[in-house]
Amino acid sequence: MYIVMFGPPGCGKGTQAEILHVKYNIPAISTGDLFRWHIKNQTELGKAVKCYLDKGELVPDEVTLNIVDERISREDCLENGGLFDGIPRTVYQASRLDELLGKRDLKISSCLNICVPDESIVTRLADRVIGSDGKTYNLVTNPPPGGMSFSRRSDDEPETVRNRLRLYHEMTHPLVEYYARKGIMHTVDGDRPIEIVSVELMGLIDLLAN
Ligand code: AP5
């Protein structure tokens, strides 16, 4: 199954993709994580995309689509599907993602839209931390285990978060219509505890699988 995890920055796409990955063994494909891996490892791609992530701007489409094409071609994804987290972010990317899957006779089964109001996003991202185990935590709603050291994402500065939210509303939110027209858009209220949101998403995936 190929599923788009959709919603504004900080709505919990990555958190839920990780939970769903553990439950269903579907690989989570996060473009943000792929870019951050390249930045951390100082690859040429990492050097080229760092300025976009730092400012909360979109990385150019061809760079993004190439990295996704390569990820889809790996065995785990071809065999077990994919939870797309952070892609697509524009209608253009959505149609290109359809093409990348289509050339392998695959397609998106569902778009899971995790709705969270902007006010909650700003608070959540101010409290987001990344633990030394690489996992995402929140100092208020999902604290890292006691004693674990943590860092913050450079794009969680309030001004950058505002830019990311602006871009989401302008460029990404129109995708709701794109997937609704295909009849595969499912919306859940993401402004509830993590476990409650997970249960609802699992219910939707179980329905799709049957
Ligand atoms: P990316 O990493 O994809 O960032 P994002 O889409 O802005 O989403 P986030 O990772 O910030 O949030 P999330 O929804 O995963 O929330 P999380 O689970 O962490 O992209 C980063 C950058 O890469 C972009 O700005 C762009 O530059 C570039 N990029 C990526 N994809 C691209 C593309 N396709 N095209 C071009 N450029 C691209 O949760 C957030 C916090 O809330 C955490 O602290 C978590 O613990 C907490 N939390 C989660 N769920 C709940 C809940 N239900 N209740 C309370 N707290 C919760």
**pLDDT tens digits along 26-57:** 999 999 999 999 999 999 999 999 999 999 99
C-alpha 26/C-alpha 85 separation (Å) is 12
Ligand 1 centroid to residue 158 C-alpha, Å: 14
Closest atom of ligand 1 to 68 CA is: 34
* Residue range 3-10: mean pLDDT, rounded: 98
Supply the pLDDT for residue 129: 97
Supply the pLDDT for residue 185: 97
Q: How many CB atoms lie within 10 A of CB 200?
A: 16
Ligand 1 centroid to residue 190 C-alpha, Å: 13
Q: How many CB atoms lie within 10 A of CB 118?
A: 16
Supply the pLDDT for residue 209: 85
Supply the pLDDT for residue 16: 98
- All domains of the chain in start order, with CATH: 2-209 (3.40.50.300)
Ligand 1 in reach of 65 Cβ (< 6 A): no
Of 209 and 42, more confident: 42
Using one digit for the tens of pLDDT, what is the confidence trace for 165-196?
Answer: 999 999 999 999 999 999 999 999 999 999 99
Cβ-contact 125, 160 below 8 angstroms: no
Supply the pLDDT for residue 118: 95
Ligand 1 centroid to residue 2 C-alpha, Å: 19
Using one digit for the tens of pLDDT, what is the confidence trace for 91-149?
Answer: 999 999 999 999 999 999 999 999 999 999 999 999 999 999 999 999 999 999 999 99
Check residue 58 and report its DSSP letter: P
Supply the pLDDT for residue 210: 81
Which mutation among 138, 156, 172 tests ligand 1's pocket best, with the greatest number of atoms within 8 A of CB? 138
Using one digit for the tens of pLDDT, what is the confidence trace for 61-80?
Answer: 999 999 999 999 999 999 99
Ligand 1 in reach of 10 Cβ (< 6 A): yes
Ligand 1 in reach of 34 Cβ (< 6 A): no
Positive or negative: CA dihedral 81, 85, 86, 91: positive
Ligand 1 centroid to residue 33 C-alpha, Å: 9
Ligand 1 in reach of 128 Cβ (< 6 A): yes
Burial of 5 (0-12, 13-18, 19+ CB in 10 A): buried
Ligand 1 in reach of 8 Cβ (< 6 A): no
Supply the pLDDT for residue 149: 97
Which residues are part of the catalytic machinery?
13, 89, 128, 153, 164
Ligand 1 in reach of 71 Cβ (< 6 A): no
Ligand 1 centroid to residue 122 C-alpha, Å: 12
Supply the pLDDT for residue 202: 98
